[in-house]
Structure 1
Protein backbone atom coordinates (compact mmCIF):
# COMPACT_ATOMS: atom_id res chain seq x y z
CA UNK A 1 0.00 0.00 0.00
CA UNK A 2 1.50 3.37 -1.00
CA UNK A 3 2.13 5.89 1.75
CA UNK A 4 -0.56 8.30 0.51
CA UNK A 5 -3.28 5.66 0.32
CA UNK A 6 -2.24 4.21 3.67
CA UNK A 7 -2.47 7.64 5.28
CA UNK A 8 -5.91 8.13 3.75
CA UNK A 9 -6.97 4.81 5.24
CA UNK A 10 -5.75 5.88 8.67
CA UNK A 11 -7.71 9.11 8.27
CA UNK A 12 -10.81 6.98 7.60
CA UNK A 13 -10.00 4.96 10.75
CA UNK A 14 -9.82 8.19 12.73
CA UNK A 15 -13.01 9.58 11.24
CA UNK A 16 -14.86 6.37 12.12
CA UNK A 17 -13.52 6.56 15.66
CA UNK A 18 -14.83 10.11 16.02
CA UNK A 19 -18.23 9.23 14.55
CA UNK A 20 -18.74 6.19 16.72
CA UNK A 21 -17.45 7.96 19.83
CA UNK A 22 -19.93 10.79 19.29
CA UNK A 23 -22.71 8.28 18.62
CA UNK A 24 -21.91 6.80 22.04
CA UNK A 25 -22.09 10.34 23.50
CA UNK A 26 -18.55 10.14 24.88
CA UNK A 27 -16.05 12.99 24.99
CA UNK A 28 -12.49 12.39 23.90
CA UNK A 29 -11.37 12.59 27.50
CA UNK A 30 -14.01 10.10 28.66
CA UNK A 31 -12.97 7.58 26.01
CA UNK A 32 -9.32 8.19 26.84
CA UNK A 33 -9.90 7.21 30.45
CA UNK A 34 -11.91 4.13 29.47
CA UNK A 35 -9.23 2.74 27.13
CA UNK A 36 -6.32 3.76 29.39
CA UNK A 37 -4.32 6.04 27.10
CA UNK A 38 -2.46 9.22 27.93
CA UNK A 39 -3.08 12.88 27.28
CA UNK A 40 -4.74 13.93 24.03
CA UNK A 41 -4.28 10.58 22.29
CA UNK A 42 -7.91 10.11 21.25
CA UNK A 43 -7.88 13.40 19.36
CA UNK A 44 -4.60 12.44 17.72
CA UNK A 45 -6.04 9.06 16.69
CA UNK A 46 -9.07 10.79 15.21
CA UNK A 47 -6.88 13.17 13.19
CA UNK A 48 -4.57 10.33 12.06
CA UNK A 49 -1.64 12.17 13.63
CA UNK A 50 -0.83 9.14 15.74
CA UNK A 51 -1.61 5.47 15.21
CA UNK A 52 -2.87 3.38 18.15
CA UNK A 53 -1.30 0.17 19.28
CA UNK A 54 -3.28 -3.05 18.84
CA UNK A 55 -4.32 -3.37 22.47
CA UNK A 56 -5.80 0.14 22.34
CA UNK A 57 -7.79 -0.70 19.19
CA UNK A 58 -9.16 -3.79 20.92
CA UNK A 59 -10.21 -1.78 24.00
CA UNK A 60 -11.88 0.84 21.78
CA UNK A 61 -13.96 -1.95 20.22
CA UNK A 62 -14.94 -3.16 23.69
CA UNK A 63 -15.93 0.28 24.96
CA UNK A 64 -17.78 1.39 21.81
CA UNK A 65 -19.21 -2.10 21.18
CA UNK A 66 -18.13 -2.03 17.54
CA UNK A 67 -17.85 -5.80 17.06
CA UNK A 68 -14.11 -5.83 16.36
CA UNK A 69 -14.22 -3.15 13.63
CA UNK A 70 -11.24 -1.14 14.89
CA UNK A 71 -9.14 -4.22 15.57
CA UNK A 72 -9.81 -5.71 12.13
CA UNK A 73 -9.13 -2.43 10.36
CA UNK A 74 -5.98 -1.88 12.40
CA UNK A 75 -4.66 -5.32 11.45
CA UNK A 76 -5.33 -4.68 7.78
CA UNK A 77 -3.57 -1.31 7.81
CA UNK A 78 -0.57 -2.42 9.82
CA UNK A 79 -0.16 -5.75 8.02
CA UNK A 80 2.83 -4.80 5.89
CA UNK A 81 4.50 -8.09 4.96
CA UNK A 82 7.75 -6.30 4.14
CA UNK A 83 8.38 -6.08 7.87
CA UNK A 84 8.17 -8.44 10.83
CA UNK A 85 4.82 -8.15 12.62
CA UNK A 86 6.44 -6.70 15.72
CA UNK A 87 8.21 -3.97 13.71
CA UNK A 88 5.46 -2.86 11.31
CA UNK A 89 3.97 -0.22 13.63
CA UNK A 90 7.44 1.21 14.37
CA UNK A 91 8.14 1.41 10.63
CA UNK A 92 4.96 3.47 10.20
CA UNK A 93 5.96 5.88 12.97
CA UNK A 94 9.48 6.21 11.55
CA UNK A 95 8.05 7.80 8.41
CA UNK A 96 6.26 10.48 10.48
CA UNK A 97 9.07 11.36 12.88
CA UNK A 98 10.71 14.78 12.93
CA UNK A 99 13.64 13.46 14.97
CA UNK A 100 15.08 9.94 15.28
CA UNK A 101 17.78 9.00 17.77
CA UNK A 102 19.16 5.46 17.70
CA UNK A 103 21.57 3.33 19.65
CA UNK A 104 22.84 0.01 18.29
CA UNK A 105 25.13 -2.36 20.11
CA UNK A 106 25.89 -4.97 17.41
CA UNK A 107 24.66 -4.14 13.90
CA UNK A 108 24.30 -1.05 11.73
CA UNK A 109 20.84 0.56 12.16
CA UNK A 110 18.43 -0.27 9.34
CA UNK A 111 18.21 3.30 8.03
CA UNK A 112 21.98 3.35 7.47
CA UNK A 113 22.44 -0.08 5.91
CA UNK A 114 23.69 -0.71 2.38
CA UNK A 115 22.10 -3.44 0.24
CA UNK A 116 25.00 -5.94 0.62
CA UNK A 117 25.05 -5.45 4.40
CA UNK A 118 21.27 -5.89 4.66
CA UNK A 119 21.51 -8.98 2.48
CA UNK A 120 24.15 -10.49 4.77
CA UNK A 121 22.15 -9.75 7.92
CA UNK A 122 18.93 -11.14 6.43
CA UNK A 123 20.67 -14.28 5.21
CA UNK A 124 22.23 -14.82 8.64
CA UNK A 125 18.75 -14.71 10.18
CA UNK A 126 17.19 -16.82 7.40
CA UNK A 127 19.89 -19.23 6.15
CA UNK A 128 17.44 -21.42 4.19
CA UNK A 129 15.29 -18.63 2.72
CA UNK A 130 14.71 -18.29 -1.02
CA UNK A 131 16.53 -15.54 -2.92
CA UNK A 132 13.21 -13.77 -3.59
CA UNK A 133 12.49 -13.53 0.13
CA UNK A 134 15.96 -12.14 0.84
CA UNK A 135 15.68 -9.52 -1.90
CA UNK A 136 12.21 -8.44 -0.71
CA UNK A 137 13.69 -7.75 2.72
CA UNK A 138 16.60 -5.85 1.20
CA UNK A 139 14.32 -3.62 -0.88
CA UNK A 140 12.04 -2.97 2.11
CA UNK A 141 14.95 -1.79 4.22
CA UNK A 142 16.33 0.43 1.48
CA UNK A 143 12.85 1.92 0.98
CA UNK A 144 12.83 2.94 4.64
CA UNK A 145 16.13 4.78 4.20
CA UNK A 146 14.65 7.11 1.57
CA UNK A 147 13.53 9.42 4.39
CA UNK A 148 17.18 10.42 4.95
CA UNK A 149 17.41 11.67 1.36
CA UNK A 150 14.28 13.84 1.39
CA UNK A 151 14.29 17.59 1.88
CA UNK A 152 11.98 17.13 4.87
CA UNK A 153 14.13 14.40 6.38
CA UNK A 154 14.07 14.02 10.14
CA UNK A 155 16.98 15.05 12.29
CA UNK A 156 18.80 11.73 12.65
CA UNK A 157 21.31 11.06 15.44
CA UNK A 158 22.86 7.62 15.91
CA UNK A 159 25.25 6.26 18.51
CA UNK A 160 26.92 3.00 17.46
CA UNK A 161 28.89 0.80 19.80
CA UNK A 162 32.37 0.12 18.45
CA UNK A 163 31.37 -3.55 18.14
CA UNK A 164 29.18 -2.51 15.20
CA UNK A 165 32.35 -1.51 13.35
CA UNK A 166 34.31 -4.62 14.29
CA UNK A 167 31.91 -7.49 13.54
CA UNK A 168 32.63 -8.30 9.85
CA UNK A 169 29.07 -8.78 8.60
CA UNK A 170 29.23 -10.09 5.04
CA UNK A 171 33.03 -9.99 4.93
CA UNK A 172 35.65 -7.23 4.55
CA UNK A 173 34.37 -5.86 1.23
CA UNK A 174 30.80 -5.50 2.50
CA UNK A 175 31.99 -3.87 5.72
CA UNK A 176 34.26 -1.42 3.88
CA UNK A 177 31.38 -0.30 1.66
CA UNK A 178 29.03 -0.08 4.63
CA UNK A 179 31.33 2.05 6.76
CA UNK A 180 32.20 4.28 3.81
CA UNK A 181 28.47 4.81 3.28
CA UNK A 182 27.98 5.86 6.90
CA UNK A 183 30.99 8.18 6.72
CA UNK A 184 29.61 9.77 3.54
CA UNK A 185 26.21 10.44 5.16
CA UNK A 186 27.95 12.08 8.12
CA UNK A 187 30.28 14.07 5.88
CA UNK A 188 27.29 15.34 3.86
CA UNK A 189 25.62 16.39 7.14
CA UNK A 190 22.61 14.18 6.57
CA UNK A 191 23.12 12.44 9.90
CA UNK A 192 24.79 13.04 13.26
CA UNK A 193 26.89 10.07 14.30
CA UNK A 194 28.90 9.04 17.34
CA UNK A 195 30.72 5.86 18.27
CA UNK A 196 30.74 4.46 21.79
CA UNK A 197 34.23 2.96 22.14
CA UNK A 198 35.09 -0.27 23.91
CA UNK A 199 36.98 1.91 26.41
CA UNK A 200 33.67 3.34 27.64
CA UNK A 201 33.04 -0.01 29.35
CA UNK A 202 29.66 -0.54 31.06
CA UNK A 203 26.68 1.59 30.01
CA UNK A 204 22.86 1.60 30.52
CA UNK A 205 22.06 0.08 27.12
CA UNK A 206 24.52 -2.81 27.09
CA UNK A 207 23.50 -5.45 24.55
CA UNK A 208 20.38 -3.52 23.57
CA UNK A 209 19.06 -1.42 20.73
CA UNK A 210 16.91 1.68 21.14
CA UNK A 211 15.12 4.05 18.80
CA UNK A 212 13.66 7.33 20.07
CA UNK A 213 11.21 9.16 17.81
CA UNK A 214 9.76 12.65 18.14
CA UNK A 215 6.81 14.04 16.19
CA UNK A 216 5.42 17.44 15.33
CA UNK A 217 1.98 16.93 16.89
CA UNK A 218 2.32 13.82 19.05
CA UNK A 219 4.23 12.70 22.15
CA UNK A 220 7.59 10.96 21.72
CA UNK A 221 7.81 7.19 21.36
CA UNK A 222 10.59 4.66 21.90
CA UNK A 223 11.07 1.33 20.16
CA UNK A 224 13.11 -1.50 21.64
CA UNK A 225 13.71 -4.92 20.13
CA UNK A 226 14.57 -8.35 21.47
CA UNK A 227 14.75 -11.80 19.89
CA UNK A 228 11.84 -11.88 17.39
CA UNK A 229 9.98 -9.30 19.46
CA UNK A 230 9.63 -5.54 19.68
CA UNK A 231 7.95 -2.99 21.92
CA UNK A 232 6.71 0.55 21.41
CA UNK A 233 6.91 2.64 24.58
CA UNK A 234 5.15 5.96 25.13
CA UNK A 235 4.39 6.14 28.85
CA UNK A 236 5.78 9.55 29.92
CA UNK A 237 7.54 8.23 33.05
CA UNK A 238 9.13 5.37 31.12
CA UNK A 239 10.09 7.68 28.26
CA UNK A 240 11.93 9.90 30.76
CA UNK A 241 14.00 6.94 31.96
CA UNK A 242 14.71 5.78 28.41
CA UNK A 243 15.82 9.28 27.38
CA UNK A 244 18.14 9.47 30.38
CA UNK A 245 19.75 6.16 29.40
CA UNK A 246 20.27 7.37 25.84
CA UNK A 247 21.73 10.66 27.08
CA UNK A 248 24.24 8.78 29.26
CA UNK A 249 25.36 6.69 26.30
CA UNK A 250 25.64 9.74 24.06
CA UNK A 251 27.70 11.57 26.70
CA UNK A 252 30.14 8.63 26.93
CA UNK A 253 30.56 8.38 23.15
CA UNK A 254 33.34 9.90 21.09
CA UNK A 255 32.77 13.29 19.49
CA UNK A 256 31.32 13.26 15.96
CA UNK A 257 34.74 14.21 14.56
CA UNK A 258 36.61 11.48 16.45
CA UNK A 259 33.86 9.00 15.58
CA UNK A 260 34.17 9.76 11.88
CA UNK A 261 37.94 9.27 12.09
CA UNK A 262 37.45 5.87 13.73
CA UNK A 263 34.88 4.80 11.14
CA UNK A 264 37.16 5.83 8.27
CA UNK A 265 40.07 3.95 9.82
CA UNK A 266 37.98 0.81 10.21
CA UNK A 267 36.76 1.13 6.61
CA UNK A 268 40.35 1.42 5.35
CA UNK A 269 41.36 -1.67 7.34
CA UNK A 270 38.51 -3.66 5.79
CA UNK A 271 39.33 -2.32 2.32
CA UNK A 272 42.97 -3.44 2.63
CA UNK A 273 41.85 -6.84 3.88
CA UNK A 274 39.41 -7.20 0.98
CA UNK A 275 42.03 -6.27 -1.62
CA UNK A 276 44.52 -8.80 -0.23
CA UNK A 277 42.20 -11.77 -0.50
Structure 2
Protein backbone atom coordinates (compact mmCIF):
# COMPACT_ATOMS: atom_id res chain seq x y z
CA UNK A 1 0.00 0.00 0.00
CA UNK A 2 2.86 2.42 0.78
CA UNK A 3 4.00 2.20 -2.86
CA UNK A 4 0.56 3.38 -4.04
CA UNK A 5 0.51 6.14 -1.41
CA UNK A 6 3.97 7.30 -2.42
CA UNK A 7 3.04 7.36 -6.11
CA UNK A 8 -0.17 9.31 -5.44
CA UNK A 9 1.68 11.86 -3.29
CA UNK A 10 4.39 12.40 -5.89
CA UNK A 11 1.77 12.81 -8.62
CA UNK A 12 -0.02 15.44 -6.48
CA UNK A 13 3.24 17.33 -5.92
CA UNK A 14 4.14 17.21 -9.62
CA UNK A 15 0.77 18.66 -10.57
CA UNK A 16 1.07 21.33 -7.89
CA UNK A 17 4.41 22.30 -9.47
CA UNK A 18 2.65 22.57 -12.87
CA UNK A 19 4.92 20.01 -14.47
CA UNK A 20 4.11 17.19 -16.85
CA UNK A 21 5.70 13.78 -16.55
CA UNK A 22 7.69 14.42 -19.73
CA UNK A 23 9.02 17.72 -18.36
CA UNK A 24 10.15 16.03 -15.15
CA UNK A 25 11.86 13.21 -17.07
CA UNK A 26 13.62 15.73 -19.30
CA UNK A 27 14.90 17.85 -16.40
CA UNK A 28 16.18 14.83 -14.47
CA UNK A 29 17.46 13.09 -17.62
CA UNK A 30 15.29 10.05 -16.93
CA UNK A 31 13.52 7.82 -19.42
CA UNK A 32 10.05 8.93 -20.45
CA UNK A 33 8.02 6.14 -18.76
CA UNK A 34 9.87 6.36 -15.42
CA UNK A 35 7.63 9.05 -13.92
CA UNK A 36 4.48 7.19 -14.90
CA UNK A 37 5.86 3.94 -13.49
CA UNK A 38 6.67 5.61 -10.17
CA UNK A 39 3.31 7.36 -9.89
CA UNK A 40 1.33 4.22 -10.72
CA UNK A 41 3.38 2.02 -8.34
CA UNK A 42 4.66 -0.28 -11.06
CA UNK A 43 8.26 0.06 -9.93
CA UNK A 44 10.06 0.30 -6.60
CA UNK A 45 11.51 3.78 -6.14
CA UNK A 46 14.93 4.47 -4.66
CA UNK A 47 15.08 7.12 -1.87
CA UNK A 48 17.63 9.11 -3.91
CA UNK A 49 15.08 9.41 -6.73
CA UNK A 50 12.45 10.61 -4.27
CA UNK A 51 14.86 13.26 -2.98
CA UNK A 52 15.49 14.48 -6.54
CA UNK A 53 11.76 14.73 -7.17
CA UNK A 54 11.12 16.58 -3.91
CA UNK A 55 13.87 19.07 -4.77
CA UNK A 56 12.45 19.60 -8.25
CA UNK A 57 8.94 20.09 -6.82
CA UNK A 58 10.37 22.55 -4.28
CA UNK A 59 9.14 20.59 -1.25
CA UNK A 60 10.88 22.28 1.68
CA UNK A 61 8.90 20.99 4.65
CA UNK A 62 11.17 18.62 6.55
CA UNK A 63 8.13 16.76 7.96
CA UNK A 64 6.67 16.16 4.49
CA UNK A 65 10.03 15.08 3.09
CA UNK A 66 10.57 12.69 6.01
CA UNK A 67 7.09 11.21 5.58
CA UNK A 68 7.55 10.56 1.86
CA UNK A 69 10.99 9.07 2.36
CA UNK A 70 9.55 6.78 5.02
CA UNK A 71 6.83 5.71 2.58
CA UNK A 72 9.57 5.04 0.03
CA UNK A 73 11.50 2.83 2.44
CA UNK A 74 8.31 0.95 3.34
CA UNK A 75 7.51 0.41 -0.33
CA UNK A 76 10.86 -1.32 -0.80
CA UNK A 77 9.95 -4.07 1.67
CA UNK A 78 9.20 -7.32 -0.22
CA UNK A 79 5.56 -8.39 -0.48
CA UNK A 80 4.41 -11.75 0.91
CA UNK A 81 4.33 -13.22 -2.63
CA UNK A 82 7.95 -12.43 -3.49
CA UNK A 83 9.46 -15.25 -1.45
CA UNK A 84 8.21 -17.75 -4.05
CA UNK A 85 10.93 -16.73 -6.51
CA UNK A 86 11.10 -16.17 -10.26
CA UNK A 87 9.91 -19.59 -11.39
CA UNK A 88 6.61 -19.18 -9.58
CA UNK A 89 6.34 -15.45 -10.14
CA UNK A 90 7.49 -13.63 -13.27
CA UNK A 91 8.21 -9.89 -13.06
CA UNK A 92 4.94 -8.84 -14.68
CA UNK A 93 2.94 -11.07 -12.32
CA UNK A 94 4.90 -9.65 -9.39
CA UNK A 95 3.66 -6.16 -10.30
CA UNK A 96 0.11 -7.37 -10.75
CA UNK A 97 -0.22 -9.08 -7.38
CA UNK A 98 1.19 -5.98 -5.69
CA UNK A 99 -1.45 -3.83 -7.36
CA UNK A 100 -4.12 -6.42 -6.63
CA UNK A 101 -3.20 -6.27 -2.94
CA UNK A 102 -3.52 -2.47 -2.94
CA UNK A 103 -6.76 -2.23 -4.93
CA UNK A 104 -9.97 -1.02 -3.30
CA UNK A 105 -12.15 -2.53 -6.05
CA UNK A 106 -11.63 -5.10 -8.80
CA UNK A 107 -13.84 -5.63 -11.83
CA UNK A 108 -12.98 -8.76 -13.81
CA UNK A 109 -14.13 -10.25 -17.08
CA UNK A 110 -12.97 -13.79 -17.83
CA UNK A 111 -13.40 -15.52 -21.18
CA UNK A 112 -12.02 -19.00 -20.43
CA UNK A 113 -10.41 -18.96 -17.00
CA UNK A 114 -11.48 -18.61 -13.38
CA UNK A 115 -9.99 -15.51 -11.71
CA UNK A 116 -6.68 -16.48 -10.01
CA UNK A 117 -7.64 -15.87 -6.35
CA UNK A 118 -10.80 -17.94 -6.83
CA UNK A 119 -9.06 -21.00 -8.25
CA UNK A 120 -8.89 -24.18 -6.20
CA UNK A 121 -5.43 -25.72 -5.93
CA UNK A 122 -6.30 -28.66 -8.20
CA UNK A 123 -7.77 -26.35 -10.85
CA UNK A 124 -4.72 -24.06 -10.58
CA UNK A 125 -2.35 -27.02 -10.89
CA UNK A 126 -3.99 -28.07 -14.14
CA UNK A 127 -3.89 -24.54 -15.55
CA UNK A 128 -0.26 -23.95 -14.54
CA UNK A 129 0.87 -27.34 -15.85
CA UNK A 130 -0.77 -26.72 -19.21
CA UNK A 131 0.80 -23.26 -19.49
CA UNK A 132 4.28 -24.27 -18.29
CA UNK A 133 5.09 -27.66 -19.81
CA UNK A 134 8.84 -27.01 -19.41
CA UNK A 135 8.63 -26.46 -15.64
CA UNK A 136 9.52 -29.18 -13.16
CA UNK A 137 6.95 -30.65 -10.82
CA UNK A 138 8.60 -28.77 -7.96
CA UNK A 139 8.31 -25.43 -9.78
CA UNK A 140 4.66 -26.10 -10.58
CA UNK A 141 3.90 -26.93 -6.94
CA UNK A 142 5.57 -23.68 -5.88
CA UNK A 143 3.27 -21.79 -8.23
CA UNK A 144 0.26 -23.68 -6.88
CA UNK A 145 1.27 -22.76 -3.32
CA UNK A 146 1.59 -19.11 -4.32
CA UNK A 147 -1.89 -19.15 -5.83
CA UNK A 148 -3.27 -20.86 -2.70
CA UNK A 149 -1.80 -18.15 -0.48
CA UNK A 150 -3.14 -15.50 -2.85
CA UNK A 151 -6.56 -17.14 -2.50
CA UNK A 152 -6.36 -17.08 1.30
CA UNK A 153 -5.43 -13.38 1.30
CA UNK A 154 -8.27 -12.55 -1.05
CA UNK A 155 -10.94 -14.54 0.77
CA UNK A 156 -9.92 -13.18 4.17
CA UNK A 157 -9.60 -9.49 3.40
CA UNK A 158 -9.55 -8.97 -0.35
CA UNK A 159 -10.87 -6.02 -2.26
CA UNK A 160 -14.50 -6.07 -3.40
CA UNK A 161 -14.63 -8.15 -6.59
CA UNK A 162 -17.32 -7.98 -9.24
CA UNK A 163 -16.63 -10.70 -11.76
CA UNK A 164 -18.37 -11.53 -15.03
CA UNK A 165 -17.43 -14.95 -16.40
CA UNK A 166 -18.25 -16.10 -19.89
CA UNK A 167 -20.24 -19.34 -19.72
CA UNK A 168 -17.27 -21.03 -21.44
CA UNK A 169 -15.34 -20.61 -18.15
CA UNK A 170 -17.69 -22.93 -16.28
CA UNK A 171 -18.26 -25.28 -19.22
CA UNK A 172 -14.56 -25.96 -19.93
CA UNK A 173 -13.61 -29.11 -17.97
CA UNK A 174 -10.22 -28.18 -16.53
CA UNK A 175 -8.42 -31.01 -14.73
CA UNK A 176 -11.20 -33.56 -15.24
CA UNK A 177 -14.77 -33.81 -14.00
CA UNK A 178 -13.98 -34.10 -10.30
CA UNK A 179 -11.61 -31.12 -10.26
CA UNK A 180 -14.04 -28.99 -12.24
CA UNK A 181 -16.99 -29.92 -10.06
CA UNK A 182 -15.01 -28.93 -6.95
CA UNK A 183 -14.05 -25.65 -8.63
CA UNK A 184 -17.66 -24.82 -9.43
CA UNK A 185 -18.72 -25.69 -5.89
CA UNK A 186 -16.02 -23.36 -4.60
CA UNK A 187 -17.23 -20.51 -6.83
CA UNK A 188 -20.78 -20.95 -5.58
CA UNK A 189 -19.51 -20.80 -2.01
CA UNK A 190 -17.36 -17.73 -2.76
CA UNK A 191 -20.45 -15.93 -4.02
CA UNK A 192 -21.82 -15.94 -0.47
CA UNK A 193 -18.95 -13.72 0.72
CA UNK A 194 -19.92 -10.05 1.12
CA UNK A 195 -17.07 -8.79 -1.08
CA UNK A 196 -17.58 -11.23 -4.01
CA UNK A 197 -20.20 -10.87 -6.74
CA UNK A 198 -20.12 -13.22 -9.74
CA UNK A 199 -22.28 -13.25 -12.85
CA UNK A 200 -22.25 -15.65 -15.79
CA UNK A 201 -22.51 -14.26 -19.31
CA UNK A 202 -24.55 -16.92 -21.14
CA UNK A 203 -23.42 -18.18 -24.53
CA UNK A 204 -26.89 -17.32 -25.79
CA UNK A 205 -26.11 -13.62 -25.23
CA UNK A 206 -24.23 -13.72 -28.54
CA UNK A 207 -21.77 -10.99 -29.55
CA UNK A 208 -20.77 -8.50 -26.88
CA UNK A 209 -18.53 -5.50 -26.23
CA UNK A 210 -15.40 -7.42 -25.15
CA UNK A 211 -15.21 -10.34 -27.58
CA UNK A 212 -11.89 -12.17 -27.19
CA UNK A 213 -10.54 -9.92 -24.42
CA UNK A 214 -10.27 -10.82 -20.76
CA UNK A 215 -9.44 -7.86 -18.51
CA UNK A 216 -9.41 -6.48 -14.99
CA UNK A 217 -10.12 -2.93 -13.87
CA UNK A 218 -8.39 -2.21 -10.57
CA UNK A 219 -9.31 0.94 -8.65
CA UNK A 220 -7.41 2.51 -5.77
CA UNK A 221 -8.08 4.74 -2.79
CA UNK A 222 -6.52 7.76 -4.50
CA UNK A 223 -9.29 7.68 -7.11
CA UNK A 224 -7.13 6.25 -9.89
CA UNK A 225 -7.74 3.07 -11.87
CA UNK A 226 -5.68 0.74 -14.06
CA UNK A 227 -6.86 -1.71 -16.70
CA UNK A 228 -4.84 -4.94 -16.67
CA UNK A 229 -4.68 -7.16 -19.75
CA UNK A 230 -2.53 -10.31 -19.65
CA UNK A 231 -1.12 -12.55 -22.37
CA UNK A 232 1.16 -15.59 -22.41
CA UNK A 233 4.45 -13.81 -21.77
CA UNK A 234 3.66 -10.36 -20.40
CA UNK A 235 0.97 -7.98 -19.23
CA UNK A 236 -0.25 -4.58 -20.32
CA UNK A 237 -1.34 -1.78 -17.98
CA UNK A 238 -3.64 0.86 -19.44
CA UNK A 239 -3.87 4.17 -17.60
CA UNK A 240 -5.26 6.70 -20.08
CA UNK A 241 -8.65 8.05 -19.11
CA UNK A 242 -10.03 7.11 -22.53
CA UNK A 243 -8.92 3.48 -22.11
CA UNK A 244 -10.32 3.19 -18.60
CA UNK A 245 -13.63 4.68 -19.76
CA UNK A 246 -13.88 2.27 -22.70
CA UNK A 247 -13.23 -0.80 -20.55
CA UNK A 248 -15.56 0.48 -17.82
CA UNK A 249 -18.37 0.97 -20.34
CA UNK A 250 -17.71 -2.50 -21.75
CA UNK A 251 -17.84 -4.01 -18.26
CA UNK A 252 -21.11 -2.23 -17.50
CA UNK A 253 -22.55 -3.71 -20.71
CA UNK A 254 -21.37 -7.20 -19.77
CA UNK A 255 -22.80 -6.83 -16.29
CA UNK A 256 -26.13 -5.71 -17.73
CA UNK A 257 -26.56 -8.64 -20.14
CA UNK A 258 -25.17 -11.34 -17.82
CA UNK A 259 -27.35 -13.50 -15.60
CA UNK A 260 -28.15 -12.15 -12.16
CA UNK A 261 -25.85 -13.30 -9.34
CA UNK A 262 -28.62 -15.61 -8.09
CA UNK A 263 -29.29 -17.15 -11.51
CA UNK A 264 -25.53 -17.43 -12.08
CA UNK A 265 -25.11 -19.47 -8.90
CA UNK A 266 -28.00 -21.70 -9.99
CA UNK A 267 -26.36 -22.30 -13.38
CA UNK A 268 -23.00 -23.15 -11.77
CA UNK A 269 -24.72 -25.69 -9.51
CA UNK A 270 -26.46 -27.20 -12.53
CA UNK A 271 -23.24 -27.52 -14.53
CA UNK A 272 -21.52 -29.08 -11.50
CA UNK A 273 -24.26 -31.71 -11.20
CA UNK A 274 -23.86 -32.59 -14.87
CA UNK A 275 -20.16 -33.38 -14.49
**Root mean square deviation of aligned Cα:** 3.6
Task: Report the Cα offset of residue 207 of structure 1.
Answer: 1.9
- What residue is the counterpart of 1:32 in the other structure? 21
| Conservation of the 8 A alpha-carbon contact between 1:31 and 1:42 | no
Deviation by residue 1:22-60 (Cα, 9 ceiling, x = unmatched): 9xxx97543635258xxxx979958xxx51459x99xx7
The structure 2 residue matched to 1:122, chosen from 120, 125, 128, is 128
SS at 1:193's partner residue?
strand
- Offset of 1:76 from its aligned partner? 10
Structure 2, unaligned stretches of length 5 or more?
26-33, 54-74
- Out of 203, 212, 217, the position equivalent to 1:207 is 212
1:240 aligned residue: 245
CA–CA separation in structure 2 for the residues paired with 1:43 and 1:234: 9
Partner Cα distance (2:131, 2:158) in 1:
30
Secondary structure of residue in 1 paired with 2:178? helix
Q: Is the CA contact (8 Å cut-off) linking 2:216 and 2:228 kept in structure 1? A: yes
Is residue 225 from structure 1 mapped to residue 220 from structure 2 by the alignment? no
Alpha-carbon shift at residue 226 of structure 1 (Å): 2.1
Counterpart residue number, 1:88: 94
User: Could you say what secondary structure the match of 2:217 adopts?
Assistant: strand
Name the residue aligned to 1:102.
108
SS where residue 121 of structure 1 aligns? helix
Task: Check if 1:139 corresponds to 2:145.
Answer: yes
Structure 2 distance, partners of 1:189, 1:77, is 29
CA contact (8 A) 2:228 2:235 kept: yes
In structure 1, distance between residues paired with 2:162 and 2:6: 31
Runs of 4+ deviating beyond 3 Å:
26-29, 41-46, 74-80
Contact 1:107–1:164 under 8 Å retained in 2: yes
TM-score (norm 1): 0.73
Is the 1:186–1:193 contact (alpha carbons within 8 Å) kept by the matching residues of 2? yes
Deviation at 1:96, TM superposition (A): 0.6
The farther-off stretch of 225-234 and 112-121 is 225-234
The answer to whether structure 1 residue 193 and structure 2 residue 198 are counterparts is: yes
For the structure 1 residues 218 and 89, does the alpha-carbon distance in structure 2 shift closer, same or farther, using more than 3 Å as the test?
Answer: farther
1:51 aligns with 41
Q: Secondary structure at the match of 1:228?
A: coil
- CA deviations over 1:156-181 (Å, ceiling 9, x no partner): 11100000011111000000000000
What is the alpha-carbon distance in structure 1 between the residues aligned to residue 147 and residue 24 of structure 2? 34
Kept in 2, the 8 Å contact 1:28–1:42? The answer is no
Count how many residue pairs are aligned between Structure 1 and Structure 2. 235
Shift of 1:241: 0.8
Q: Distance in 1 between matches of 2:193 and 2:16?
A: 48
Q: Which runs of 5+ in 1 are unaligned?
A: 1-6, 65-73, 271-277
- Going from structure 1 to structure 2, the CA distance change for 1:30 and 1:238 (only over 3 Å counts) comes to same
Q: Indicate whether 1:257 and 2:262 are aligned.
A: yes
Question: 1:188, CA displacement in angstroms?
Answer: 3.7
> Kindly tell me: are residues 77 and 30 of structure 1, through their superposed partners in 2, closer, same or farther at Cα, counting changes over 3 Å?
farther
2:186 paired residue among 159, 181, 191: 181
